[in-house]
């Protein structure tokens, strides 16, 4: 009797305490968004930091407006993927399993994104690829997999349109033998044939660990192209700029760099003269028109970091903004409801125009590609923000 | 034999390999200018004794003294520089170096004076001449025959600038009689000319009799006899250890 | 795509890069022949040399004094090696002067990771360059950058100087004797363990010199030494472990094979032609072109 009383008393206290604790917490409990980014080698820590900066400003934006779902604040659970698939899987499990994230974004390395998607498939919380380009991320048509990065077919379509516009007829592509490089070569070749474009394409590849591209470039020189497409990433891209100039290919033959590396601060230190007149793919230029939140973001970013935002930060911002809007539209933090609203809703992004994630064919499934730009430096040492917009997709 | 102060001495020198006592409290005293023979059956611990004296092995107990100075704990190259030089049972010449370079190498031990080295090079040429190898001075040492290698290794020891005491480990093993004679003559000559001290490990009784006035017998890590070859040749325990090997 | 001009260009380019490769390989083969260990962190000493060159040129001497900077950089790396050897490498010689096999592999791979991560942590992952004011040159039909041509000439000079040091000096005699027989050298009065320090320093210094000379050509970043390690090992297998002329000839052979193969067969396999050459040499002469079949006692 005595004992039963005591148990009952404990139970009552427990329920009371639990109850008081629980009910108000539900209204105030923050909504967690997972951010899986590379913050240490072998990942690209710089990219990770830049994405994180953007994501944090998205929180500032929405929390500054009172949060979501009638007053719940947003918060980030940031995890380091180290650029390794296992790291990405562990990070996804942690943010979803322990921190109860409603969606996970920030992905930079394709392999990390792909590995995380396999876990996401069973755990059910959606992912949004921030800067991952491999086809498999969306081509597998997983319910949970979304992406907002420029994918290869669109990058290729963009530069083919650019070549058409500029009248380039003989084009050399020198690409690294990675998925990225070989993928771009294959896709370019395929689209030229499919669209029956009058472009003669020379394709050459090199191993990523090569430092001497002279053999490839001697063949380029002998081919006498009117455009050289540089599909190196990191050091090989820089080496190709230098070695093409040494062999007197550039500047007579203009060069197009396949991604936005020339906007990095050390670019002119590496290529004080050879960087002039370079074309390069970019995903953002201050000369571009932005959405309302995009404009807010660039201002906030410049105030906070005393420099212009780059694509990584813009997309980090945009993806968190999408999650916030999806939660709002779903009126719920249930992952299933959020997936529903991602599939059916329209979302503001940093670029102008709305983001949608249609159940489209192939790689375009759940995929949104931001606009593509091709910029060109006009003089040595020029700030990339002043570089001329030589091409803008959809214009 | 006489009262001359010993140049090389060991006191209670012992070396244990696991449970096996390879050298057991060796007391040896070699006078300056002496040519001492060490004989004993295979495995008696002769090479071990030389390794202990030249710092290649560290003793478990006991001491080694060169001209009164303890050598225990010194590194082999330091001991060599002090003048206690050795040759190896298995020849350690520098196969890819020329004969001349093989003889120049010991000059590295000189505390770097140009004169010593210049003199040394002249001496190297004389030695090669003396051994009939002058013609091969610039050939790599690996082109030499086995016997010639033995001569070269022995000659290299004589090149050590500070050489005072030379330990030769079985220099005559497997060497033809002509080369053997050349080597014996070289030892006698250097002994006479420079008053060097020698310790020679050998099974060659004829050579021992010719070179050494005093011989030490080592059996199972212990000194069992010391004296002229004829004195010890009469001892039953020594004969037993050699199991009928000829002392002629 | 065959043309005589293209062939000549590719051939010259191959010789130039080959001599530079040889300089990268020299240190590995040299350290092996003295200290009897493979230094897996050689590429990281190349990397140190390249960063030293960058720092000295960018913050102190300027690109016109590149050669002074290269000497200082090589000396710095020598000094680092000289300091590191007794701490990291010497313990592999337990009790004597003969080696413990696996030790050096473990230690130098750990050193590789340490140096690489340190470089990433301190300087960030991005490329830098000390820059160069040297004008381009024409080598026959091949336009060549001034910096690369200078690196080629300096590599030749360094190899010649190194050969002179080995063949004509007393230190060289000590080094050659030690490489033949460590016990023999010790018996001849050579302080083998302190010679190890000098040898290790010289070996990594050669890699550091390559890093310094190539800093403006191949840029400076935390993993810029990877090429040194891979090409270096190919070269010493082709040329024969421990052989200086072997390293030079194998370096040029490798450079030419890669250049011609990448130009006329398929550029994607640029790094594979060296391996083909390597397998060929191994099949015909397992000890390399200039290697010893058996180490002579
Ligand atoms: N480094 C060693 N470790 C273990 N045992 C050894 C070592 N060196 C010699 N021995 C043993 O010590 C004994 C004496 O060897 P050694 O001195 O070479 O004899 P000797 O030169 O008289 O023929 C032998 O039984 C030999 O096996
Ligand atoms: Mg013996």
Strands A200-206 and A170-176: parallel
Distance (Å, whole) CA C290 – CA C241: 8
| pLDDT at position A133 | 85
- CB neighbourhood size of A126 (10 A): 26
Residue B13 bridge partners (DSSP):
B26
What lies within 8 Å, CB to CB, of B153 at 6+ separation is B87, B88, B91, B92, B93, B171
Mean pLDDT score of chain C, rounded to an integer?
Answer: 90
**Contact between C189 and B106 using a beta-carbon 8 Å cutoff:** yes
Q: What is the value of pTM for the model shown?
A: 0.83
For the ranges A150-154, B150-154, C259-263, the lowest mean pLDDT is seen at A150-154
A6-13 contact pairs (CB < 8 A, 24+): none
From B17, B21, B37, mutation site for ligand 1 pocket: most ligand atoms within 8 A of C-beta: B17
| pLDDT at position A266 | 84
CA atoms within 13 A on the CB side of C179: 22
At C101, the pLDDT band (50, 70, 90 cuts) reads: low
Element (H, E) at A324: helix A311-330
Strands B61-66 and B69-70: antiparallel
**DSSP result, B52-93:** HHTTSS--SEEEEEETTEE-TT--HHHHHHTTEEEE-SS---
Window C:193-232, CB contacts with A under 8 Å: 218-219, 221, 224, 226-227, 230
**Contact between A266 and C226 using a beta-carbon 8 Å cutoff:** no
Mean pLDDT score of chain B, rounded to an integer?
Answer: 89
Q: How many domains does chain C have?
A: 1
C191 to chain B, any CB pair closer than 8 A? The answer is yes
What's the average model confidence in pLDDT over A357-380?
A: 93
Residues with CB under 6 A from ligand 1: B 17, 22, 40, 42-48
Whether C171 is in a domain gets the answer: yes
Whether C264 is in a domain gets the answer: no
Whether C28 is in a domain gets the answer: yes
CATH hierarchy code of domain A153-282+373-392: 3.40.50.2300
What's the average model confidence in pLDDT over B93-107?
A: 93
Nearest to C120 by CA among C47, C214, C45: C47
What's the average model confidence in pLDDT over C85-99?
A: 76
| pLDDT at position C290 | 80
- Chain B CB contacts of C182 under 8 Å are none
What lies within 8 Å, CB to CB, of A8 at 6+ separation is none
Element (H, E) at C289: none
C292 to chain B, any CB pair closer than 8 A? The answer is yes
Token pair listed for C226: 């990877």
Whether C195 is in a domain gets the answer: yes
Question: Selecting from 3.40.50.2300, 3.40.50.740, 3.30.2270.10, 3.40.50.12370, what CATH number does the domain A26-150+289-364 have?
Answer: 3.40.50.2300
Residue A206 bridge partners (DSSP):
A176
Token pair listed for B120: 């040394």
pLDDT tens-digit readout, A333-342 = 999 999 999 9
Residue A1 has pLDDT above 50, yes or no: no
pLDDT tens-digit readout, B43-88 = 999 999 999 999 999 999 999 999 999 999 999 999 999 999 999 8
pLDDT tens-digit readout, B169-204 = 999 988 889 999 999 999 999 999 989 999 999 988
Q: In this structure, are residues B215 and B37 in contact, taking their beta carbons and an 8 Å threshold?
A: yes
Distance (Å, whole) CA A316 – CA A370: 13
Instruction: Please indicate whether the domains covering A26-150+289-364 and A153-282+373-392 agree at the CATH topology level.
Output: yes
What lies within 8 Å, CB to CB, of A175 at 6+ separation is A181, A182, A184, A185, A203, A204, A205, A206, A229, A231, A232, A258
Distance (Å, whole) CA C282 – CA A326: 63
Residue C103: φ, ψ to 5°: -55, -50
Distance (Å, whole) CA A235 – CA A256: 16
| pLDDT at position C95 | 59
Q: Where are the beta strands (DSSP E) in chain A?
A: 31-37, 74-80, 104-107, 127-129, 145-147, 170-176, 200-206, 227-231, 255-257, 279-282, 373-376, 388-392
At C271, the pLDDT band (50, 70, 90 cuts) reads: confident
- Owning domain of residue C81: 4-14+24-129+141-229
C170 to chain B, any CB pair closer than 8 A? The answer is yes
Every domain of chain A and the residues it spans? 26-150+289-364, 153-282+373-392
């Amino acid at each position: 009797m005595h004992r039963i009383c005591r148990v009952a008393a404990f139970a009552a206290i427990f329920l009371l305490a639990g109850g008081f604790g629980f009910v108000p917490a539900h209204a105030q409990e923050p909504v967690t968004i997972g951010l899986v980014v590379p913050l240490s080698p072998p990942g690209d820590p710089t990219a990770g930091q830049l994405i994180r900066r953007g994501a944090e400003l998205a929180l500032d934006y929405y929390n500054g407006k009172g949060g979501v779902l009638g007053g719940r604040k947003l918060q980030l659970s940031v995890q380091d993927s180290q650029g390794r698939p296992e790291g990405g899987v562990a990070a996804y499990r942690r943010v979803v399993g322990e921190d109860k994230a409603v969606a996970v974004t920030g992905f930079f390395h394709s392999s990390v994104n792909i590995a995380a998607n396999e876990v996401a498939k069973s755990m059910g919380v959606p992912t949004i690829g921030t800067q991952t380009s491999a086809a498999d991320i969306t081509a597998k048509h997983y319910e949970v997999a979304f992406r907002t990065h420029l994918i290869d077919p669109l990058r290729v379509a963009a530069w083919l349109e650019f070549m058409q516009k500029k009248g380039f007829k003989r084009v050399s592509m020198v690409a690294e033998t990675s998925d990225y490089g070989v993928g771009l070569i294959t896709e370019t070749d395929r689209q030229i044939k499919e669209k029956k474009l009058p472009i003669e394409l020379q394709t050459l590849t090199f191993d990523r660990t090569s430092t001497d591209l002279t053999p490839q470039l001697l063949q380029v020189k002998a081919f006498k192209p009117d455009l050289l497409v540089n599909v190196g990433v990191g050091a090989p891209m820089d080496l190709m700029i230098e070695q093409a100039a040494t062999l007197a290919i550039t500047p007579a033959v203009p060069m197009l760099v396949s991604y936005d590396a020339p906007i990095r601060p050390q670019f002119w230190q590496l290529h004080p003269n050879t960087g002039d007149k370079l074309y390069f793919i970019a995903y953002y230029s201050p000369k571009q028109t932005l959405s309302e939140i995009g404009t807010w973001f660039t201002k906030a970013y410049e105030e906070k970091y005393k420099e212009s935002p780059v694509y990584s930060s813009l997309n980090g911002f945009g993806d968190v903004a999408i999650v916030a809007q999806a939660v709002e539209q779903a009126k719920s933090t249930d992952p299933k409801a959020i997936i529903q609203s991602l599939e059916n809703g329209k979302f503001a992004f940093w670029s102008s125009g709305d983001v949608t994630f249609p159940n489209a064919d192939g790689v375009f499934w759940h995929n949104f590609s931001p606009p593509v730009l091709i910029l060109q430096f006009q003089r040595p040492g020029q700030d990339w923000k002043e570089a001329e917009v030589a091409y803008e997709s959809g214009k | 034999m006489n009262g001359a102060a010993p140049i090389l001495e060991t006191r209670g020198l012992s070396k244990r390999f696991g449970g096996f006592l390879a050298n057991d409290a060796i007391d040896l005293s070699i006078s300056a200018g002496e040519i001492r023979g060490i004989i004993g059956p295979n495995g008696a611990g002769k090479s071990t004794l030389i390794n202990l004296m030249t710092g290649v092995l560290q003793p478990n107990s006991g001491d080694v003294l060169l001209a009164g100075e303890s050598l225990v704990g010194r590194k082999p190259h330091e001991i060599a520089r002090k003048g206690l030089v050795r040759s190896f049972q298995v020849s350690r010449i520098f196969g890819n170096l020329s004969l001349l370079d093989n003889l120049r190498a010991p000059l590295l031990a000189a505390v770097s004076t140009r004169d010593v080295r210049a003199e040394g090079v002249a001496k190297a040429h004389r030695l090669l001449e003396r051994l009939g190898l002058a013609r091969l001075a610039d050939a790599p040492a690996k082109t030499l025959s086995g016997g010639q290698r033995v001569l070269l290794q022995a000659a290299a020891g004589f090149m050590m600038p500070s050489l005072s005491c030379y330990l030769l480990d079985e220099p005559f093993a497997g060497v033809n009689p002509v080369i053997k004679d050349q080597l014996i003559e070289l030892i006698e000559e250097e002994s006479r000319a420079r008053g060097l001290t020698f310790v020679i490990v050998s099974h060659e009784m004829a050579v021992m009799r010719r070179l050494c006035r005093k011989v030490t017998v080592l059996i199972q890590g212990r000194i069992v006899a010391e004296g002229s070859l004829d004195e010890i040749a009469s001892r039953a325990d020594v004969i037993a250890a050699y199991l009928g090997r000829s002392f002629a | 795509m065959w043309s005589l001009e293209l062939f000549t260009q590719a051939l010259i380019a191959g010789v130039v890069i080959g001599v530079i490769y040889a300089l990268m390989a020299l240190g590995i083969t040299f350290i092996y022949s003295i200290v009897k260990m493979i230094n897996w962190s050689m590429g990281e000493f190349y990397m140190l040399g390249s960063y030293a060159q960058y720092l000295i040129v960018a913050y102190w001497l300027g690109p016109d004094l590149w050669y002074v900077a290269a000497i200082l950089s090589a000396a710095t790396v020598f000094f680092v090696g000289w300091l590191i050897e007794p701490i990291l490498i010497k313990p592999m010689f337990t009790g004597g002067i003969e080696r413990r096999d696996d030790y050096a592999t473990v230690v130098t791979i750990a050193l590789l990771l340490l140096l690489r991560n340190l470089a990433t942590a301190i300087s960030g992952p991005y490329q830098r360059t000390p820059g160069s004011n040297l004008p381009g040159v024409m080598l026959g039909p091949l336009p060549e950058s001034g910096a690369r041509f200078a690196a080629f000439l300096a590599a030749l000079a360094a190899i010649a100087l190194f050969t002179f040091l080995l063949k004509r000096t007393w230190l060289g005699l000590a080094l050659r004797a030690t490489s033949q027989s460590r016990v023999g050298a010790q018996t001849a009065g050579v302080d083998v363990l302190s010679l190890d320090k000098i040898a290790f320093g010289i070996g990594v210094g050669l890699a550091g010199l390559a890093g310094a000379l190539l800093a403006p050509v191949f840029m400076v970043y935390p993993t810029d030494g990877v090429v040194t390690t891979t090409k270096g090992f190919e070269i010493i297998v082709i040329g024969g472990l421990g052989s200086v002329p072997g390293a030079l000839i194998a370096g040029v052979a490798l450079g030419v094979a890669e250049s011609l193969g990448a130009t006329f067969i398929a550029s994607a396999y640029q790094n594979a032609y060296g391996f083909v050459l390597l397998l060929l040499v191994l099949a015909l002469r397992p000890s390399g072109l200039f290697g010893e079949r058996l180490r002579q006692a």
